[in-house]
């Protein structure tokens, strides 16, 4: 029997129950007007097509917890692809269809994305491998979710619009702050759920119940985690490292034994935590100068791999299918740490030398270097605050306008003027032009003398 429960009834029957200090209110009340309007359109399309549609996933969980979430996931008890096509026409949205998985993704002009799936059931033929899917009921669809708190759905159907479907006790686990799997084979079927369980623990302040944690530890001990494809482990690690306080999740994974199964050995948790916290603090400070270029996950991954050799870092990254560009940046960050630590300990004699030293390193390494404080932080701050903004106001075109023919000398002259500007020997376009003219004459004169002696 379907366990529909009106959110308004929840309020009436649980007036004294609080979710994190706040009375439980209708999840619909927590949605923005724009989202409510969008859900009404989705509801109208489902009514016209005579199919049932439900809002599912983290957005339902987070609405009950009063946490903002704009990820719209819709499950249709019918043909999800056909529903997506009809909804795309109604919303004038771009659509991408994946017939194999019976899903569709809509991109609205405002930037909002809507993911639509056919309610389905999954079959796992081997542990740690992706499942086969076929259409099923909404209850079967919700039963394949990772945890009870993520198995909630919100009806968008006319007869019970706004009511919650809770087949597996998800609301009760939200109240008790518990992470629980839906069945005992959950982690064996999909070991990445261990990483997600830890992520939700630390993000929400929840905890796996004893049974779920025992199942997680058992799956780790069986070596199931090692069988997961590198791409899926990579994605879970990046998700964890993008959390507000990622070290707590990393430490939990270490305690569960999952990190060692994917080739990461954290020898001293206290040192790693301190290194990560300081580096993240430096990232926040430097982001105002280098906005968005320092990637949090690459920074933390470099710290996690700091005891590995260059070759072992490459092999580990290749196994996890990390892009070559990211792999080389992580490797360069780790391997150059000793060199930078030695080079930046003292103040540089001139600013050009400092610029020339730092511009060759990944921005993640500069953030780590800044976290060492003292002279390191002072040099990095000077680099970002002044040196990266130093630009020449002249170019090769100006040298041609002065009557010189293009040649390799142009590059040498412009580099010399650039260095003079760094060291504050020239300032402004006019002084740059004068300095460039003198240098060009010097190079031209010396070249003429060399040719004369050769004759």
Q: Which of 19-33, 207-221, 283-297 has the least mean pLDDT? A: 19-33
Residue 73 has pLDDT above 90, yes or no: yes
Residue 422 has pLDDT above 90, yes or no: no
Write the pLDDT tens digit of every residue in 387-421: 888 888 999 999 999 988 888 899 889 988 988 88
Assess contact for 114 and 155: CB atoms under 8 A. Answer: no
Give the percent of the chain with pLDDT over 90: 56
Residue 454 has pLDDT above 70, yes or no: no
Q: What is the pLDDT of residue 455?
A: 42
260 with 270, same domain: the answer is no
Q: What is the pLDDT of residue 62?
A: 93
285 with 377, same domain: the answer is yes
Residue 338 has pLDDT above 90, yes or no: yes
The neighbour count for residue 325, using CB atoms within 10 Å, is 8
Residue 99 has pLDDT above 80, yes or no: yes
Encoded tokens for 281: 């603090």
- Confidence band of 309 (pLDDT split at 50, 70, 90): very high
- Residue with the bigger pLDDT between 326 and 128: it is 326
Among residues 156, 211, 221, the alpha carbon closest in space to that of 188 is found at 221
DSSP code string of 85-134: HHHHHHHT-EEEEEGGGTEEEEE-TTS-EEEEEE-EEEE-SSTTSPPEEE
- Residue with the bigger pLDDT between 269 and 346: it is 346
- Confidence band of 122 (pLDDT split at 50, 70, 90): low
Write the pLDDT tens digit of every residue in 178-203: 999 999 999 998 999 999 999 999 99
DSSP code string of 326-378: HHHHHHHHHHTHHHHHHHTSS--SSHHHHHHHHTTS-HHHHHHHHTT-HHHHH
**What is the DSSP-derived secondary structure letter of residue 388?**
G
Q: What is the pLDDT of residue 269?
A: 64
41 with 158, same domain: the answer is yes
The neighbour count for residue 122, using CB atoms within 10 Å, is 16
361 with 281, same domain: the answer is yes
Q: What is the pLDDT of residue 212?
A: 97
18 with 110, same domain: the answer is yes
Write the pLDDT tens digit of every residue in 375-385: 899 999 988 98
Contacts 24+ apart (CB under 8 A), 365-368: 365/302, 365/332, 365/333, 365/336, 365/337, 365/340, 366/286, 366/294, 367/279, 367/282, 367/283, 367/286, 367/294, 367/299, 368/275, 368/279, 368/282, 368/299, 368/302, 368/303, 368/333, 368/337
As beta bridge partners, residue 116 has 74, 104
Residue 109 belongs to domain spanning = 4-176
246 with 368, same domain: the answer is no
Q: Which of 88-92, 224-228, 413-417, 422-426 has the least mean pLDDT? A: 422-426
Q: What is the pLDDT of residue 446?
A: 56
Assess contact for 208 and 216: CB atoms under 8 A. Answer: yes
Assess contact for 223 and 249: CB atoms under 8 A. Answer: no
**What is the DSSP-derived secondary structure letter of residue 167?**
S
Residue 139 has pLDDT above 70, yes or no: yes
Task: Report how far residue 181's alpha carbon sits from residue 55's, in angstroms, rounded to the nearest whole number.
Answer: 21
Residue 2 has pLDDT above 60, yes or no: no
Q: What is the pLDDT of residue 448?
A: 47
Of 176, 207, 223, the one marking the end of a domain is: 176
348-369: average pLDDT: 88
Of 230, 264, 298, the one marking the end of a domain is: 264
| CA-to-CA separations, 148 to 33, 177, 232, in angstroms, rounded | 28, 11, 22
**Strands laid side by side in the 94-98 sheet:** 4-5, 164-165, 153-155, 52-56, 72-77, 113-118, 103-107, 94-98
- Residue with the bigger pLDDT between 446 and 25: it is 446
DSSP code string of 32-83: -HHHHHHHHHHHHHHHHHT-EEEEETHHHHHHHTT-----EEEEEES-HHHH
Q: What is the pLDDT of residue 27?
A: 59
Q: What is the pLDDT of residue 26?
A: 55
245-271: average pLDDT: 86
345 with 316, same domain: the answer is yes
Phi, then psi, of 371 in degrees rounded to 5: -70, -15
Winning range, highest mean pLDDT, from 128-137, 175-184, 284-293, 412-421: 175-184
Quote the radius of gyration of the chain (alpha carbons, Å): 29
Write the pLDDT tens digit of every residue in 47-60: 999 999 999 999 99
30 with 132, same domain: the answer is yes
Assess contact for 298 and 322: CB atoms under 8 A. Answer: no
Assess contact for 19 and 67: CB atoms under 8 A. Answer: no
29 with 172, same domain: the answer is yes
Among residues 397, 394, 398, 409, the alpha carbon closest in space to that of 441 is found at 409
Encoded tokens for 314: 């490459």
Residue 21 has pLDDT above 50, yes or no: no
Task: Report how far residue 169's alpha carbon sits from residue 291's, in angstroms, rounded to the nearest whole number.
Answer: 43
Among residues 270, 267, 269, 326, the alpha carbon closest in space to that of 302 is found at 326
171 with 39, same domain: the answer is yes
105 with 223, same domain: the answer is no
Secondary element (H or E) of residue 154: strand 153-155
334-362: average pLDDT: 87
Task: Report how far residue 133's alpha carbon sits from residue 443's, in angstroms, rounded to the nearest whole number.
Answer: 73
Of 264, 291, 321, the one marking the end of a domain is: 264
Q: The domain that contains 218 carries what CATH number?
A: 1.10.110.30
Among residues 83, 82, 105, the alpha carbon closest in space to that of 95 is found at 105
Write the pLDDT tens digit of every residue in 156-167: 998 899 999 999
Task: Report how far residue 167's alpha carbon sits from residue 144's, in angstroms, rounded to the nearest whole number.
Answer: 12
Q: Which of 9-23, 181-195, 422-436, 439-453 has the least mean pLDDT? A: 9-23
The SS3 assignment for 152 reads coil
Residue 218 has pLDDT above 80, yes or no: yes
Q: The domain that contains 160 carries what CATH number?
A: 3.30.460.10
Q: How many domains does the chain have?
A: 4
270 with 374, same domain: the answer is yes
Biggest CA pair distance of the chain: 104
Residue 131 has pLDDT above 70, yes or no: no
């Amino acid at each position: 029997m379907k366990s529909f429960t009106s959110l308004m009834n929840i309020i009436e029957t649980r007036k004294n129950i609080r979710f994190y200090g706040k009375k439980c209110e209708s999840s619909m009340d927590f949605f923005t007007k724009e989202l409510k309007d969008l859900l009404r359109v989705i509801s109208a399309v489902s009514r016209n097509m005579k199919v049932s549609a439900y809002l599912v996933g983290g957005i339902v969980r987070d609405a009950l917890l009063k946490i903002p979430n704009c990820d719209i996931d819709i499950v249709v008890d019918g043909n999800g692809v056909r529903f997506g096509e009809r909804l795309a026409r109604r919303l004038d949205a771009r659509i991408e269809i994946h017939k194999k998985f019976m899903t569709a993704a809509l991109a609205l002009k405002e930037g909002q994305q809507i993911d639509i799936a056919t309610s389905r059931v999954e079959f796992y033929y081997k542990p740690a491998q992706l499942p086969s899917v076929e259409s099923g009921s909404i209850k079967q669809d919700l039963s394949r979710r990772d945890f009870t708190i993520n198995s909630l759905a919100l009806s968008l159907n006319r007869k019970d619009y706004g009511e919650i479907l809770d087949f597996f006790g998800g609301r009760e686990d939200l109240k008790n702050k518990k992470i629980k799997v839906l069945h005992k084979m959950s982690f064996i079927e999909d070991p990445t759920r261990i990483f997600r369980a830890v992520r939700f623990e630390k993000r929400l302040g929840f905890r796996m119940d004893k049974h779920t944690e025992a199942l997680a530890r058992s799956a780790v001990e069986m070596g199931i985690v090692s069988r997961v494809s590198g791409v899926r482990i990579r994605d879970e690690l990046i998700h964890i490292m993008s959390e507000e306080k990622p070290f707590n999740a990393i430490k939990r994974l270490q305690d569960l034994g999952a990190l060692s199964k994917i080739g990461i050995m954290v020898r001293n948790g206290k040192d790693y935590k301190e290194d990560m916290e300081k580096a993240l603090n430096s990232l926040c400070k430097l982001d105002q100068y280098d906005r968005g270029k320092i990637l949090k996950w690459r920074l933390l991954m470099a710290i996690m791999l700091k005891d590995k050799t260059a070759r072992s870092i490459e092999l580990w990254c290749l196994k996890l299918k990390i892009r070559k560009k990211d792999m080389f940046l992580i490797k360069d960050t780790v391997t150059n740490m000793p060199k930078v630590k030695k080079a930046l300990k003292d103040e540089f004699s001139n600013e050009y030398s400092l610029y020339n030293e730092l511009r060759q390193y990944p921005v993640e390494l500069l953030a780590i270097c800044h976290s060492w404080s003292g002279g390191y932080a002072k040099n990095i701050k000077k680099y970002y605050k002044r040196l990266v903004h130093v630009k020449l106001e002249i170019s090769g075109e100006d040298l041609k306008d002065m009557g010189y023919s293009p040649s390799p000398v142009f590059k040498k002259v412009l580099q010399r003027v650039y260095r003079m500007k760094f060291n504050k020997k020239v300032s402004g376009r006019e002084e740059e032009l004068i300095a460039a003219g003198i240098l060009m004459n010097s190079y031209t004169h010396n070249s003429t003398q060399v040719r004369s002696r050769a004759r």
